[in-house]
Amino acid sequence: MIRITLNVVMAQRNMTTSELAKRVGITPTNISILKTGKVKAIRFSTLEKICAVLDCQPGDIISYVADK
């Protein structure tokens, strides 16, 4: 299972959904979908922008957890 921890990294950086969306260039709705893990895909260009804005690595916001 893929786990999304974008909300954790955003909280550590004191970044709101609106601010991240504006700085990345996508809608707040799309950021919310990412935060809840309901996203089915993400463009590498979007992931790159998120990582640049949050000063993080992709592995800081996306991880794989084996099913038990």
- The 10s digit of each residue's pLDDT in 6-31 is 999 999 999 999 999 999 999 999 99
Q: How many CA atoms lie within 13 A of 13 on its CB side?
A: 20
Give CB contacts under 8 A, 24+ apart, made by 38-46.
39/4
Q: What pLDDT is attached to residue 67? A: 85
Q: What pLDDT is attached to residue 68? A: 78
pLDDT surpasses 90 at 3: yes
C-beta atoms surrounding 31 within 10 Å: 25
Give mean pLDDT, residues 28-54.
Answer: 95
Distance CA 20, CA 2 (A): 22
Q: Is the pTM of this model over 0.75?
A: yes
Q: Do 15 and 54 meet the contact criterion of CB atoms below 8 Å apart?
A: yes
